[in-house]
Amino acid sequence: MFVHNKRLQYTVRVAAPNPGLANLLLEQFGGPQGELAAACRYFTQAVGEDDPGRKDLLFDIATEELSHLEIIGSIVAMLNKGAKGQLAEAVEQEAELYRSMTSGGNDSHTTALLYGGGPALTNSAGVPWSAAYIDTIGEPTADLRSNIAAEARAKIVYERLINVTDDPGIQEALGFLMTREIAHQKSFEKALHSIQPNFPQGKLPGVPEFTSVYYNMSQGSEPALRGPWNEGGDWKFVEDPQPAVDGGDGLATVGVSAEDIDVLQAMAARTASDKSSDPTTGADLGSGQATAV
């Protein structure tokens, strides 16, 4: 059960309307790294979680993400206040209204026209929010790592948004939201490492002969770069991997019935290429290079 508190989690102070900035902030409202995606990701994980501690953690953070969604939405609405009133009441001449709406250099005019200046569930480019942003797979050791990465990406987006505004009130609010992404990362890290072992993800171990092998797949004149990702410890570095690394011939085979073999051979004969022919094609005709008979 959810109960809405009429006060925001963080006090927001917007100095002046700015539809262009409002449009950029939609990235964290309805974008892939935004607050709605985070809330839905953690909420659905919490519903399916059996561990009481992780369930509580995921519900708490999912609920906080909804409060962050409210903060971002409120900022967007306030930044659009001027455009909303002007568009609704037509207080300016048509040319001036058009100029004020399109002067931001982005799609803020689209946001104003389609959504009346309110926060829309789209990203900053106008792409509608999608449940495809939710990448939960139902395995805690995989999902928690995905959550950590999601919080890291959101933190970077907030950094970039802070850098494109000089409004101190908005900078402070975005700084708070950015910092909460750090706190959530720490919580998810602790939850992940409270599961031991947590690597590799899932139940099945890897095939030992391939688990610690690094294949040098970038061939060229420069020598392969080495580092802790491919040397030291139990790493085995294969300089020139050739198919097939399992010792086979690298050819794909399938067992089929005698009846299927006859059908496949007939199809192969029917669709065989004549390597000795050089037919005139549409490309020849179109280029004017076809020889008249």
Query: What does 201-266 look like in DSSP terms, one character per residue?
Result: SSSPPPPHHHHTEEE----SSSPPP-STTTSSTT-EEESS--S-TTSS---------HHHHHHHHH
The rounded distance, in Å, linking the Cα atoms of 35 and 40 is: 9
CATH 1.20.1260.10 fits 19-193, yes or no: yes
| pLDDT tens for each residue of 71-93 | 999 999 999 886 545 454 454 55
Q: Identify whether the C-beta of residue 2 lies closer than 8 Å to the C-beta of residue 67.
A: no
pLDDT of residue 93: 55
Could you tell me the CA-to-CA distances from 45 to 15, 59, 141, 155 in Å, in that order? 38, 9, 12, 21
DSSP at 35: H
Whole-angstrom Cα distance, residue 173 to residue 153?
18
CB 147 within 8 A of CB 42: yes
Q: Helix, strand, coil proportions of the chain in percent (round to 5)?
A: 55, 5, 45
- Give the ranges where 80-107 is alpha helix by DSSP (H): 81-89, 94-102
The annotation places the binding site for Ca(2+) at 56, 60, 216, 218, 220
Binding residue ranges: 35, 56, 60, 65, 68, 151, 184, 216, 218, 220
For CATH 1.20.1260.10, the residue range(s) in the chain are: 19-193
Q: Which residue numbers belong to the known binding site for Mn(2+)?
A: 35, 65, 68, 151, 184
Angle of CA points 13, 14, 19, to nearest 5°: 155
* pLDDT under 50: residue ranges of the chain: 84, 86, 88-89, 91, 97-98
Query: Helix axis angle, 140-163 relative to 35-48, nearest 10°?
Result: 160
Question: How far apart, in Å, are the Cα atoms of 136 and each of 54, 131, 181?
Answer: 15, 11, 18
**Angle between the N-to-C axes of helices 168-193 and 52-79, in degrees from 0 to 180, rounded to the nearest 10:** 170
User: In the beta sheet, which residues pair with residue 214?
Assistant: 237
At residue 215, φ and ψ (nearest 5 deg) are -95, 125
Instruction: Return contacts of 190-194, CB within 8 angstroms, 24+ apart.
Output: 191/53, 191/54, 191/57, 191/140, 191/144, 192/140, 192/141, 192/144, 192/145, 192/148, 194/53
pLDDT at 20: 87
pTM given for the model? 0.83
Instruction: Take residue 23 and report the two structure tokens written for it.
Output: 């449009």
Task: Determine the pLDDT at residue 60.
Answer: 98
Residue 61 burial class via C-beta count within 10 angstroms: exposed 0-12, middle 13-18, buried 19 and up: buried
pLDDT computed for residue 290 by the predictor? 67
Q: What's the pLDDT score for residue 91?
A: 47
Share of the chain above pLDDT 70, in %: 87
Q: Could you read off the pLDDT of 157-215 as tens digits, one per residue?
A: 999 999 999 999 999 999 999 999 999 999 999 999 999 999 999 999 999 999 999 99
**Could you tell me the two tokens for 207?**
């095939």
CB 80 within 8 A of CB 112: yes
